[in-house]
Amino acid sequence: NAGVTQTPKFRVLKTGQSMTLLCAQDMNHEYMYWYRQDPGMGLRLIHYSVGEGTTAKGEVPDGYNVSRLKKQNFLLGLESAAPSQTSVYFCASSYPIGQGMSSGANVLTFGAGSRLTVL
């Protein structure tokens, strides 16, 4: 049981290049998330998905796109990378405890992170 797996773990891009980060989970979780973390700060939500085929914007969605074609995978794309997107990216997944979010807690399982540098 691998949990949440992110690939690649490290990547260096030049300004304007594009790339995709892949997140895969094997826990049959409904919800998946992409966060970014800058030095000395907490995590900020980029996009999230509450089920296969659905995505939604989080706090800092600009410059990123996502897709959830399969329940177990959540892809984060950068169409034209900028130095401001240099960060550590974390994927997470969860399944709400109880009957729906209004009555249940939401416990996240995180991947190990992907460190992206944009020059």
- Quickly list H helices, 29-111: none
Residue 108's CB: how many other CB atoms inside 10 A? 17
Burial classification of residue 93, based on how many CB atoms lie within 10 Å of its CB (0-12 exposed, 13-18 middle, 19 or more buried)? buried
Scanning 21-29, 62-70, 77-85, 98-106 for contacts with other proteins by CB under 8 A, the matching segment is 98-106
In the bound complex, what is the minimum distance in angstroms from residue 65's beta carbon to other proteins?
19
- Decide: 26 and 3 in contact? Cβ < 8 Å: yes
CB of 80 to other proteins, least distance (A): 27
Query: Contact between 94 and other proteins (CB under 8 A)?
Result: yes
Q: Element (H or E) spanning 92, and its range?
A: strand 87-94
- 27 in contact with other proteins (CB under 8 A): no
Interface with other proteins (CB under 8 A): 4, 31, 33, 35, 40-45, 48, 50, 58-59, 88, 90, 92, 94, 96, 101-102, 105-113
